[in-house]
Structure 1
């Protein structure tokens, strides 16, 4: 009975978390008010009745869908005898429903914008800050030191214990029935798998920081100088936060490596090793959402600048899949501020990005084949 109650609480807790994240998706906390549901609108239309109605409809239907999915998840979990079946399946189903509701709201706002002629009486403009290239925000190398240090310590500890590891290593695996343990031959790849994961995490996070520091800025044309100054502080805050998250994730992998090398299967220790870094990462994310805001919109402005009277240009033609995918072959930028969610996305129309991605995918497949051989 306790197991049944525990599984039910796990499924309901997982679905509630997913629901909250999806319900918050259209919120100005995560998106610029001028792009509701991925549609570019003039600032004075950000809270138009048509937009507000779509927000209410999206949230109401999503909450109703969550109640239905929760019942289905509990039934699936009990029927298939797997604690994670309902949580995983329910989360995927709820995400599909949210995407469908978002797409419907996107079309409705687009129709309202076109039929109402929201851009007909506006002066559209675009602005750029050339100093972001001539005097860019520097890569915060001191903030990367903790991530590199954790990798070095993990590799050193692994090198010391490697000669004394048993012939077979017991590794945990996640399945629909929970965590299961299986034995694998002790090799360099199995013993140092999480160290390699640390290197991948650090490299990808550092690469992300380097990319966002050179990403195209989405500045406010009505107050360009104020927006440019705020964006610089935004880049500083984001780059430091990403590197801090890298250090926390590496610390988690260090703890998991220690458990693997010592064959420690304590669920309490596992919860501590994984839970503390994850909670810290969530804390950093909450700080970025609540105190920094999309594009640094919640950061203080030090410049008192009069409004220019311009509004951002209507560039919906470059955004596809309900405002989630950016394709512009004339834009040299590889990374641009995303419309849906927090942070940046890639320009799928940039040839350099496509070539580099193809090379990396080919290299990854080659390494996987070589290791498998």
Structure 2
């Protein structure tokens, strides 16, 4: 992965900013993936974990930039991987720090724990705006027509576009019916926030499918030599992906993790309950969920704007097996991937 030094520095800055903003966007009662009572969000141990994490993120970014500026750019991919591993370790250490303070201080002692749900999300669910999927379908159709007109064209990119449409449709349907994130301390307010948050996620997901297929259209034209492969054309090809990334970033900054930064319409007073402590079902610093007693297939991760599979659900293993099979087939060449010259 060889390219301009400024591009490598920009990539390092982006990764550092993404990891560094994580704690700020996380729900206050889930610092570094640890569930805590609302009254404990100002604990010194949490502030200490954040300071150590932020210093580590900054130090890692500075070290990576120093390596790039020293002239070692031939294996920038190793620098990026190393930086990602470092940040993952820092997050795990911060998670352990907060979890230890919670355990030693018995933060949930004397609290009344509960779980809240919003039945209106079943009777009146957030319905995906399927019309937003139209551009991705049209772009795939246009690409297929151009490919048919070009006798030497390979349809690997067209298959990729169709796969994008199918996968995004399935993911949108699954997320719209995933278990909602409702806080027992303020159930009405959190339900209102989650509904607004879910609407934004589903809309962005469908729009992003169109952005991906727009990029694949230009890539197809380059592979089929319908248009010349030049730097300006390549830049134009990836502009839709850049636009989608900026949109997701802006939405994440506005909404926060699971929409906790959104402003609900009501001023609901806080209840006497705390959200149930379910740390025992979460692993890898809040990244992996396993609960055989939970019927939910998809649950919102404790870190980031996305969902994860409940590994305690049998269907989740079927999904993982299907992904593994596709990966193996692609590795052995049975599934064609887009490449220069088809």
Q: If the length of structure 1 is used for normalisation, what is the TM-score?
A: 0.83
Change (3 A) 1:17 1:304: closer
Matched ranges for 1:305-320 at <5 A: 305-320=268-283
Please give the root-mean-square deviation of Cα atoms over the aligned residues, in Å.
2.1
Deviates more, 1:351-360 or 1:205-214: 351-360
1:193-234 CA distance string (max 9 Å, x none): 111111112222111111111111110112212222322222
Equivalent position of 2:28 in the other structure = 33
- Residue 13 of structure 1 is matched in structure 2 by 10
Q: Does the CA-based 8 Å contact 1:70-1:90 persist in structure 2?
A: no
The answer to whether structure 1 residue 102 and structure 2 residue 91 are counterparts is yes
**Post-superposition offset of 1:369:** 6.0
Check conservation: 1:73, 1:89, Cα contact below 8 A. Answer: no
Q: 1:50: which partner in 2? A: 45
Structure 2: 5+ residue stretches without partners: 337-342
Query: Post-superposition shift, 1:296?
Result: 2.1
**Counterparts of 1:313 and 1:235 in 2: how far apart (Å)?**
22
Greater C-alpha Rg: 1
State how far apart, in whole Å, the 1-side matches of 2:108 and 2:293 are.
Answer: 23
Partner of 2:339: none
Partner of 2:200: 237
Query: 1:321 aligned to 2:252?
Result: no
SS in 1 for 2:308: strand
Change in CA separation of 1:371 and 1:299 when aligned onto 2, cut-off 3 Å: closer
Indicate yes or no: 2:80 matched with 1:117: no
Alignment-derived partner of residue 217 in structure 2: 254
Deviation at 1:363, TM superposition (A): 5.9
The equivalent of 2:233 in structure 1 is 269
The answer as to 2:325 corresponding to 1:362 is yes
Per the alignment, residue 55 of structure 2 pairs with: 60
Q: Distance in 2 between matches of 1:360 and 1:343?
A: 18
**Separation of aligned partners in 2, 1:279 and 1:320:** 32
Shift of 1:44: 2.0
Secondary structure of the 2:23 match is: coil
Answer whether contact 2:113 2:273 (CA < 8 A) is retained: yes
2:313 maps to which of 340, 347, 350: 350
Aligned to 1:154: 143
- 1:99-145: CA deviations, max 9, x gaps? 11111111111111111121102111101122322332223211111
* Distance apart, 1:246 and its partner CA: 0.6
- Tell me the distance in 1 between the aligned counterparts of 2:334 and 2:142: 28
SS of 1:271's equivalent in the other structure is helix
Paired positions, count? 333
Conserved? CA contact 2:35–2:279, under 8 Å = yes
Structure 1 unaligned segments of length 5 or more: list them.
166-185
Residue of structure 2 equivalent to 1:224: 187
Q: Which range is displaced more, 69-78 or 216-225?
A: 69-78
Between the aligned partners of 1:99 and 1:76, the Cα distance in structure 2 is 26
Counterpart Cα distance in 2 of 1:72 and 1:283 = 28
Question: Deviation string for 1:30-83 (max 9, x for gaps)?
Answer: x211111111111122232110111011111221122223223444635xxx3x
CA contact (8 A) 2:37 2:274 kept: yes
